[in-house]
Amino acid sequence: MCGICGILRLDGAPADTAVVAAMNSSIVHRGPDSDGTMADGPVALAMRRLSIIDLAGGGQPIANEDGSVQVVQNGEIYNYRELRRDLQRRGHAFRTNCDTEVLVHLYEDRGPSFVSELRGMFGLALWDSRRRRLVLARDPFGIKPLYYRQTDRELSFASELKALVRNPELSRDIDPDALEAFLAFNWIPAPMTVFTEVRKLRAGHVLVAEDGRVEIERYARPGVVPDRPLRGGSEAELAAELLETLRESVRAHLVADVPVGVLLSGGVDSATLAALAAQESGERIKTFSIGFEEREFSELDLARRVADRYGTDHHELIVRPNAVELLPKLAETFDEPFADSSALPTYLVSQLAGEHVKVVFSGEGGDELFGGYRTYAADLLAPRIGRLAVAASPLVERLPTSPNRRLEDRLKRFARAATLPPLERHHGWTEVFSAEARAELLGNGRRGADPLAVWRARYAESEHADPLSRFQDLDLGVSLVDDQLAKTDRAGMAHSLETRVPLLDPAVVEFAFSLERVHKVWGFSKKRILRRAAAAVVPEEIVRGRKRGFSIPAAAWLRDGLQPFARDVLSPERVAREGFFDPAVVSRLLDVHVSGRDDLSRQIWGLLTFSLWHERYGARSTTAA
């Protein structure tokens, strides 16, 4: 695991190595063990290394035999041993035992298309000095990040946005479309970033810069595939096949020259990974869990059951709200507005794990692949009872708001969204600020582009598939990448911790999307086949337990201990000075939430996050008066 960065001068001038050095120094947390650089006329590459495989010999950049091809990589290639053996049979000579070295030799044989043969997670940059060609690529699932900035004269890139900010020529003008999307989602979908000049390379895409031209194309698209045959067999047979598929993925992801731990919640995804890792690792694994004083949000008891069953070296932490200390740290960590409140416990459990190991497993992907979200059940239910829900809406809206946004809030959301078109309905279950609320908040009629544009493009590609698979594909290709995976990567790497996601393995994904709907969601029953498979290795209480997610009691915190902090950060004076939102609207949102008339914790958390990010990175509004 590493952090990478670099510059290519498209006009042929020498790359500014001082700027690249500054960029590299900003991502030391991604690789505190060592660093490496190279410069060749118009290009300069740099990296920070977290040593995981071939601790002594895996320093980067790594070159081919004659030094004409060099690469820096952030990530891990799990099939590197198989690739290496094949490349050696074809005459390639290796100097290290590192997974990164297969990249230069595979590129020699296949050119930029070499990335399609990689099984792993990666953001990489490869320089071909003979062709004067730079290749940037991101793994098919978007597990590892890669940002880039392109001007007429220069292409620069980095694992994190904070590295590109080190370039004094970067404009920090806010992208109004990205701001609109942030208000809708509480995160920003690729290819947008908060800055107009910077883009995210999308998952499964490769960028090739050569002869002053830059071209980007998709090389992989996990998810729905036209005419993929559905798997046959009984539920018991499918569960057994899935368990073995998961076991093989865990075995591949355990490849490391350092111990591997597991981030263990009380959910079926991480519990299954912990169980299989304990069985396959051959040594006592370490597990890490986090809980809350509010028992409704805590899964520590369930996590302990798994830890006790497999005799893991288990570590726990109780989260208490300390916003003055933690929220500014999150703004620094995520370096663009990111308001998924589960980032807070993810950050803290990563900090806990980082004190003991360099590598952990996390369960991201299980909900998207096997139908774990309540939204999927709602999507399937809405066409049948949507009109009834709308008719009952006046009564539903009069329900009191519970302290922690549970049943009442879900009923209200269902009634509001049930009769919308399918895509808008799916978004409506989790929407933060509605279009009307965004317009009011931004003031003066300021509106960006449609925040669902990225969703619409992905959704249109799966029109051949059944409704549930289309929503799963949408979440896999957009929300998972820019919310869940962004969260685990930044939170882990802030503590020099590599987070691996064995559920996002090509074989597991292919299996999941070849299942009939009945094996995923049936009525209110979710993750049916995964739970059946997990029953062989995890306690029954977890297999049958309800999904809680990695949520925090934000609503209660913002009405109690965090209220003074929120009032200060979102004061009318400060909001006006920043110039993005209407201060009166922000104050009203706070008042309504604190009074208990409605749960606006997600909206307030988003505004808090934006203000703290703005304070740290000094961005300015291009539309402020």
Confidence at 621, pLDDT banded by 50, 70, 90? very low
Per-residue model confidence (pLDDT) at position 622: 42
Element (H, E) at 499: strand 498-500
For residue 618, how many other CB atoms are within 10 A of its CB?
Answer: 8
Is 36 within the bounds of a domain?
yes
Is 142 in the same domain as 49? Answer: yes
Q: Would you say residue 392 lies in a domain?
A: no
CA distances from 596 to 400, 405, 433, 571, 586 (A): 9, 11, 18, 20, 16
Torsion of CA 159, 165, 169, 171, to 10 degrees: 110
Between 448 and 256, the more confident residue is: 256
d(CA 306, CA 312): 8
The interaxial angle of helices 343-354 and 486-493, nearest 10 deg, is 40
Beta strands (DSSP E) in 85-224 are: 120-128, 133-138, 147-150, 154-158, 198-200, 205-210, 213-218
Please tell me the predicted confidence (pLDDT) of residue 399.
64
pLDDT at residue 320, as a whole number: 75
Q: pLDDT tens-digit profile of 195-228?
A: 999 999 999 999 999 999 999 999 999 999 998 9
The confidence score (pLDDT) of residue 282 equals 86
Domain boundary among 485, 516, 543: 543
> How high is the pLDDT of residue 625?
29
Q: Is residue 290 part of a domain?
A: yes
Is 98 a residue of the active site? no
pLDDT grade, residue 394 (50/70/90)?
low
Same-domain status, 186 and 104? yes
**243 and 312 in a common domain:** yes
pLDDT top residue among 187 and 383: 187
Instruction: Tell me the β-bridge partners of 32.
Output: 49
Contacts of 308-311 with C-beta under 8 Å, sequence gap 24+, read 309/275, 309/538, 309/539, 310/274, 310/275, 310/278, 310/279, 310/285, 311/278, 311/284
Token pair for 243: 């368990």
187 φ, ψ (degrees, to nearest 5): -160, 170
* Domain shared by 263 and 209, yes or no: no
Same-domain pairing of 131 and 249: no
Asked whether residue 44 carries a pLDDT value surpassing 90, the answer given is: yes
Does 201 share its domain with 254? no
Q: Which residue has the higher pLDDT, 4 or 384?
A: 4
Q: How far apart are CA 172 and CA 619, in angstroms?
A: 5
**Domain boundary residue among 159, 184, 218?**
218
If one counts the domains in the chain, the total is: 2
The predicted model gives 485-495 an average pLDDT of: 97
- How much is the pTM? 0.94
- Over range 92-114, report the average pLDDT: 96
Burial 290-307 (b: 16+ CB within 10 A, else e): bbbeeeebbbbebbbbbb
List pLDDT tens digits, range 139-196: 999 999 999 999 999 999 999 999 999 999 999 999 999 999 999 999 999 999 999 9
- In angstroms, the CA 98 to CA 81 distance is 9
**Residue 536 belongs to a domain with what CATH number?**
3.40.50.620
169, 259: one domain: no
pLDDT of 549 strictly over 60? no
Q: Taking the CA of residue 57 as centre, how many other CA atoms within 13 Å lie in the half-sphere pointing to its CB?
A: 9
Compute the distance between CA of residue 55 and CA of residue 196 in angstroms, rounded to an integer.
39
Collect all residues with Cβ–Cβ distance below 8 Å to 77 and sequence separation of at least 6: 83, 99, 100, 102, 103, 118, 119, 120, 122
Would you say residue 591 lies in a domain? no
> Is 383 a member of any domain?
no
Please report whether residue 229 resides in a domain.
no
Q: For the chain, what percent of residues have pLDDT higher than 90?
A: 81
207 Cβ partners below 8 Å, 6+ apart? 135, 136, 137, 148, 201, 214, 215, 216
Secondary structure of residue 337 in the 3-state scheme: coil
Question: Is the per-residue pLDDT at 397 higher than 80?
Answer: no
Instruction: Encode pLDDT of 493-542 as tens digits.
Output: 999 999 999 999 999 999 999 999 999 999 889 999 999 999 999 999 99
For position 47, which CATH number holds? Answer: 3.60.20.10
User: What is the residue range of 66's domain?
Assistant: 2-218
Strands 43-49 and 34-40 come out as antiparallel
Element (H, E) at 76: strand 69-77
The overall average pLDDT reported for the chain is 92
Among residues 306, 263, 314, 371, the alpha carbon closest in space to that of 540 is found at 306
d(CA 319, CA 126): 42
The pLDDT tens digits for 46-59 are 999 998 887 877 88
Q: Residue 88 falls within a domain, yes or no?
A: yes
The two structure tokens encoding residue 534: 């997990």
For residue 281, give the DSSP letter: S
624: pLDDT strictly greater than 50: no
Question: Do 17 and 125 belong together in one domain?
Answer: yes
Same domain, 213 and 311: no
Say yes or no to pLDDT of 396 above 60.
no
Residue 275 has pLDDT above 50, yes or no: yes
Residue tagged active-site, from 2, 5, 134, 590: 5
Task: Report the C-alpha gap between 379 and 557 in whole angstroms.
Answer: 31
91: exposed, middle or buried (C-beta count within 10 Å: 0-12, 13-18, 19+)?
A: exposed
Note whether 163 and 281 are same-domain residues: no
Same structural domain, 272 and 168? no
Query: Does the structure show a pLDDT above 60 at 405?
Result: no
Residues 183, 99, single domain; the answer is yes
Residue 296 forms part of a structural domain: yes
Out of 510, 543, 576, pick the residue that ends a domain.
543
